[in-house]
Amino acid sequence: MNKKLLGIGLASSLISLGFLTVASAADPKPKDVAEYRQSVYTIIGWNFKPIAAMVKGEVPFDAAAVARHAQYVELMSKAALEGFAKGSGPDAVKHTEAKPEIWTNWDKFETAMNDFQQEAVKLTEVAKGGDEAAIKAQFGKTAETCKACHKEFRKD
């Protein structure tokens, strides 16, 4: 039951994100772009944390749960970049952890985001196999892409 409610809640969030994107696609306001971006990262975190807990041995390993969470991380990794439209940085939006370097060094940021996306795709593929050791190794690679981007492009 809990999984079903989580799925319904996540689906509702994704639909809401879709409506926000469609509604504001013509002329997105910086605040809307930042809210979209923050929503995407909330969903990524929501799904990344349980995998991390399993990898660290804090909770029992569940290959099916890892595969499900990995799919959501992959999906959101593909949606994340559009949440960084020009004009949605700290100069325009009060509550953001995004550094100005995102927009002043766009090529490097885009490369870092693409690296995360590629590793998230690999995590989904590996997770489908259910091999705990392979999942742990790929999760580490995926997490490294997150850390690398946070170091350079996110305020702490």
Q: What is the pLDDT of residues 108-141, one digit of tens each?
A: 999 999 999 999 999 999 999 999 999 999 999 9
User: CA dist 79 to 34, 89, 94, 113, Å?
Assistant: 13, 17, 22, 10
Quick one: pLDDT at residue 102? 96
CATH 1.20.120.10 fits 2-153, yes or no: yes
Per-residue pLDDT reduced to its tens digit, 3-60 = 665 556 565 565 655 555 555 457 789 999 999 999 999 999 999 999 999 999 999 9
Quick one: pLDDT at residue 81? 95
Least confident range from 17-26, 80-89, 147-156: namely: 17-26
Quick one: pLDDT at residue 26? 72
CA 109 to CA 4: how far, in whole Å?
36
Domain ranges of the chain: 2-153
